[in-house]
Amino acid sequence: MSVRQSLLAILDQGPCYGYQLRAEFERRTGSTWPLNVGQIYNTLERLERDGLVAKGETDEQGHVYWAITEDGSAEVRAWWSSPIARTTGTRDELAIKIAVAATLPGVDADDVIREQHRASLAHVRLLDGLRRQSVTAGDGHGERAEAEAFARSLVLDAMVFAAEAEVRWLELAAERLSERPSQRRALELTTDAPKRGRPAKVL
Protein backbone atom coordinates (compact mmCIF):
# COMPACT_ATOMS: atom_id res chain seq x y z
CA MET A 1 0.00 0.00 0.00
CA SER A 2 2.89 2.42 0.52
CA VAL A 3 3.32 3.18 -3.20
CA ARG A 4 -0.38 3.99 -3.54
CA GLN A 5 -0.38 6.13 -0.41
CA SER A 6 2.90 7.84 -1.27
CA LEU A 7 1.67 8.83 -4.72
CA LEU A 8 -1.52 10.18 -3.16
CA ALA A 9 0.53 12.17 -0.64
CA ILE A 10 2.59 13.71 -3.46
CA LEU A 11 -0.56 14.59 -5.41
CA ASP A 12 -1.87 16.26 -2.26
CA GLN A 13 0.80 18.91 -2.91
CA GLY A 14 -0.50 19.62 -6.40
CA PRO A 15 -1.43 18.01 -9.75
CA CYS A 16 1.24 15.92 -11.52
CA TYR A 17 1.54 13.89 -14.70
CA GLY A 18 2.83 10.31 -14.72
CA TYR A 19 6.55 10.79 -15.35
CA GLN A 20 6.59 13.76 -12.99
CA LEU A 21 4.96 11.66 -10.29
CA ARG A 22 7.57 8.93 -10.73
CA ALA A 23 10.38 11.48 -10.51
CA GLU A 24 8.89 13.02 -7.35
CA PHE A 25 8.56 9.57 -5.73
CA GLU A 26 12.19 8.72 -6.58
CA ARG A 27 13.45 12.06 -5.22
CA ARG A 28 11.76 11.37 -1.91
CA THR A 29 12.91 7.76 -1.58
CA GLY A 30 16.47 8.22 -2.85
CA SER A 31 15.71 6.03 -5.91
CA THR A 32 15.77 3.00 -3.59
CA TRP A 33 12.35 1.82 -4.80
CA PRO A 34 12.28 2.18 -8.59
CA LEU A 35 8.85 2.37 -10.21
CA ASN A 36 8.15 1.99 -13.90
CA VAL A 37 5.71 4.32 -15.59
CA GLY A 38 3.28 1.48 -16.25
CA GLN A 39 3.04 0.88 -12.50
CA ILE A 40 2.41 4.58 -11.94
CA TYR A 41 -0.44 4.70 -14.44
CA ASN A 42 -1.97 1.44 -13.19
CA THR A 43 -1.98 2.89 -9.68
CA LEU A 44 -3.48 6.17 -10.91
CA GLU A 45 -6.26 4.30 -12.71
CA ARG A 46 -7.10 2.36 -9.54
CA LEU A 47 -7.05 5.57 -7.53
CA GLU A 48 -9.39 7.15 -10.07
CA ARG A 49 -11.70 4.14 -9.89
CA ASP A 50 -11.78 4.54 -6.10
CA GLY A 51 -12.62 8.25 -6.39
CA LEU A 52 -9.35 9.41 -4.84
CA VAL A 53 -7.89 11.18 -7.89
CA ALA A 54 -9.33 12.71 -11.05
CA LYS A 55 -7.83 13.03 -14.51
CA GLY A 56 -7.38 16.68 -15.34
CA GLU A 57 -6.12 18.86 -18.15
CA THR A 58 -3.62 17.93 -20.87
CA ASP A 59 -0.87 20.48 -21.52
CA GLU A 60 0.66 21.44 -24.86
CA GLN A 61 3.27 18.67 -24.51
CA GLY A 62 0.54 16.07 -24.12
CA HIS A 63 1.05 15.54 -20.37
CA VAL A 64 -2.14 14.44 -18.65
CA TYR A 65 -2.31 15.90 -15.16
CA TRP A 66 -3.88 14.03 -12.25
CA ALA A 67 -5.35 15.84 -9.25
CA ILE A 68 -6.31 14.54 -5.84
CA THR A 69 -9.96 14.64 -4.75
CA GLU A 70 -11.31 15.53 -1.31
CA ASP A 71 -11.64 11.84 -0.52
CA GLY A 72 -8.03 11.36 -1.61
CA SER A 73 -6.84 14.12 0.71
CA ALA A 74 -8.81 12.53 3.54
CA GLU A 75 -7.09 9.21 2.87
CA VAL A 76 -3.69 10.90 2.97
CA ARG A 77 -4.49 12.47 6.32
CA ALA A 78 -5.62 9.08 7.62
CA TRP A 79 -2.35 7.53 6.39
CA TRP A 80 -0.21 10.12 8.16
CA SER A 81 -2.08 9.58 11.43
CA SER A 82 -2.09 5.75 11.32
CA PRO A 83 0.89 3.58 12.24
CA ILE A 84 1.96 0.88 9.79
CA ALA A 85 0.53 -2.46 10.92
CA ARG A 86 2.98 -5.36 10.72
CA THR A 87 1.33 -8.70 9.99
CA THR A 88 1.93 -11.65 12.33
CA GLY A 89 2.19 -14.24 9.57
CA THR A 90 5.24 -14.58 7.36
CA ARG A 91 5.76 -14.91 3.64
CA ASP A 92 9.49 -14.33 4.04
CA GLU A 93 11.17 -16.52 1.44
CA LEU A 94 14.41 -16.90 3.41
CA ALA A 95 12.69 -17.97 6.65
CA ILE A 96 10.60 -20.53 4.76
CA LYS A 97 13.64 -21.84 2.86
CA ILE A 98 15.67 -22.41 6.04
CA ALA A 99 12.74 -24.01 7.88
CA VAL A 100 12.14 -26.44 5.00
CA ALA A 101 15.86 -27.20 4.64
CA ALA A 102 16.11 -27.95 8.37
CA THR A 103 13.31 -30.51 8.25
CA LEU A 104 14.00 -32.38 5.00
CA PRO A 105 16.25 -35.48 4.93
CA GLY A 106 19.23 -35.16 2.61
CA VAL A 107 19.42 -31.38 2.72
CA ASP A 108 22.48 -29.78 4.32
CA ALA A 109 20.76 -26.94 6.17
CA ASP A 110 24.10 -25.80 7.64
CA ASP A 111 25.46 -25.27 4.13
CA VAL A 112 22.31 -23.42 3.06
CA ILE A 113 22.69 -21.10 6.05
CA ARG A 114 26.43 -20.58 5.47
CA GLU A 115 25.90 -19.58 1.83
CA GLN A 116 23.09 -17.22 2.74
CA HIS A 117 25.12 -15.74 5.61
CA ARG A 118 27.96 -14.89 3.23
CA ALA A 119 25.55 -13.28 0.77
CA SER A 120 23.72 -11.38 3.52
CA LEU A 121 26.97 -10.02 4.97
CA ALA A 122 28.01 -8.82 1.52
CA HIS A 123 24.62 -7.13 1.18
CA VAL A 124 25.08 -5.37 4.53
CA ARG A 125 28.50 -4.08 3.43
CA LEU A 126 27.07 -2.83 0.13
CA LEU A 127 24.18 -1.02 1.82
CA ASP A 128 26.46 0.43 4.48
CA GLY A 129 28.71 1.85 1.77
CA LEU A 130 25.74 3.38 -0.04
CA ARG A 131 24.52 4.85 3.24
CA ARG A 132 27.89 6.50 3.94
CA GLN A 133 27.96 7.95 0.42
CA SER A 134 24.43 9.25 0.83
CA VAL A 135 25.24 11.08 4.05
CA THR A 136 27.76 13.30 2.27
CA ALA A 137 26.18 13.36 -1.21
CA GLY A 138 24.20 16.52 -0.65
CA ASP A 139 26.81 18.46 1.31
CA GLY A 140 27.54 21.78 -0.32
CA HIS A 141 25.16 21.19 -3.24
CA GLY A 142 22.22 23.24 -2.06
CA GLU A 143 19.12 22.63 0.00
CA ARG A 144 17.38 20.52 -2.64
CA ALA A 145 20.33 18.12 -3.01
CA GLU A 146 20.71 17.92 0.77
CA ALA A 147 17.00 17.12 1.20
CA GLU A 148 17.16 14.37 -1.44
CA ALA A 149 20.31 12.89 0.12
CA PHE A 150 18.68 12.96 3.54
CA ALA A 151 15.59 11.11 2.25
CA ARG A 152 17.81 8.50 0.62
CA SER A 153 19.82 8.04 3.82
CA LEU A 154 16.63 7.45 5.84
CA VAL A 155 15.55 4.64 3.50
CA LEU A 156 19.05 3.16 3.43
CA ASP A 157 19.19 3.21 7.25
CA ALA A 158 16.07 1.06 7.34
CA MET A 159 17.50 -1.29 4.71
CA VAL A 160 20.79 -1.64 6.62
CA PHE A 161 19.04 -2.42 9.90
CA ALA A 162 16.83 -5.02 8.19
CA ALA A 163 19.86 -6.64 6.54
CA GLU A 164 21.76 -6.69 9.84
CA ALA A 165 18.75 -8.31 11.52
CA GLU A 166 18.74 -10.97 8.79
CA VAL A 167 22.41 -11.77 9.50
CA ARG A 168 21.69 -12.06 13.24
CA TRP A 169 18.74 -14.36 12.56
CA LEU A 170 20.88 -16.61 10.35
CA GLU A 171 23.49 -16.85 13.11
CA LEU A 172 20.77 -17.76 15.60
CA ALA A 173 19.36 -20.39 13.23
CA ALA A 174 22.82 -21.95 12.78
CA GLU A 175 23.32 -22.00 16.56
CA ARG A 176 19.95 -23.64 17.18
CA LEU A 177 20.59 -26.29 14.54
CA SER A 178 23.91 -27.19 16.15
CA GLU A 179 22.39 -27.34 19.65
CA ARG A 180 19.42 -29.54 18.75
CA PRO A 181 20.48 -32.10 16.16
CA SER A 182 17.69 -34.46 17.21
CA GLN A 183 15.09 -31.99 15.97
CA ARG A 184 16.62 -31.72 12.53
CA ARG A 185 15.31 -33.56 9.50
CA ALA A 186 12.62 -35.07 11.71
CA LEU A 187 9.83 -34.70 9.19
CA GLU A 188 9.67 -37.60 6.75
CA LEU A 189 6.85 -37.49 4.23
CA THR A 190 3.69 -38.56 6.01
CA THR A 191 1.21 -41.11 4.77
CA ASP A 192 -1.60 -39.51 6.78
CA ALA A 193 -4.39 -38.09 4.66
CA PRO A 194 -4.33 -34.29 4.97
CA LYS A 195 -7.41 -32.65 6.42
CA ARG A 196 -9.53 -30.69 4.03
CA GLY A 197 -10.06 -26.96 4.41
CA ARG A 198 -7.74 -24.20 5.47
CA PRO A 199 -5.08 -25.03 8.08
CA ALA A 200 -5.47 -23.39 11.45
CA LYS A 201 -3.44 -20.22 11.87
CA VAL A 202 -0.44 -20.66 14.17
CA LEU A 203 0.61 -17.02 14.23
CATH for 48: 1.10.10.10
Q: Does residue 132 belong to any structural domain of this protein?
A: yes
Q: Does residue 41 belong to any structural domain of this protein?
A: yes
Q: Do residue 177 and residue 97 come from a single domain?
A: yes
DSSP secondary structure, 68-93, as one string = E-HHHHHHHHHHHHSPPPPPSS---H
Q: Do residue 101 and residue 178 come from a single domain?
A: yes
Q: How much is the pLDDT for 28? A: 85
Q: Per-residue b/e over 115-154, b at no fewer than 16 CB within 10 Å?
A: ebbeebeebbeebeebbeebeebbeeeeeeeeebbebbbb
Q: Does residue 73 belong to any structural domain of this protein?
A: yes
Q: Does residue 147 belong to any structural domain of this protein?
A: yes
Q: Is 102 exposed, middle or buried (0-12, 13-18, 19+ CB in 10 A)?
A: buried
Q: What is the dihedral of CA 118, 121, 123, 124, to 10 degrees?
A: 180
Q: Does residue 145 belong to any structural domain of this protein?
A: yes
Q: Does residue 194 belong to any structural domain of this protein?
A: no
Q: Do residue 53 and residue 101 come from a single domain?
A: no
Q: Do residue 11 and residue 52 come from a single domain?
A: yes
Q: Do residue 62 and residue 115 come from a single domain?
A: no
**Structural domain ending residue among the three candidates 79, 103, 124:** 79
Q: Do residue 53 and residue 132 come from a single domain?
A: no
Q: How much is the pLDDT for 137? A: 65
Mean pLDDT by 10 residues, the chain (203 residues): 88 94 87 85 96 94 96 95 74 86 85 95 92 72 83 90 96 90 64 66 54
Q: Do residue 66 and residue 144 come from a single domain?
A: no
Q: How much is the pLDDT for 118? A: 95
Q: How much is the pLDDT for 170? A: 96
Q: How much is the pLDDT for 29? A: 81
CA dist., res. 121 & res. 4, Å (int): 32
**Structural domain ending residue among the three candidates 49, 79, 109:** 79
Q: Do residue 50 and residue 132 come from a single domain?
A: no
Q: Does residue 31 belong to any structural domain of this protein?
A: yes
Q: Do residue 105 and residue 27 come from a single domain?
A: no
**Based on the structure, what is the number of domains in the chain?**
2
Q: Does residue 163 belong to any structural domain of this protein?
A: yes
Its domain, for residue 157, covers 93-183
Q: How much is the pLDDT for 199? A: 56
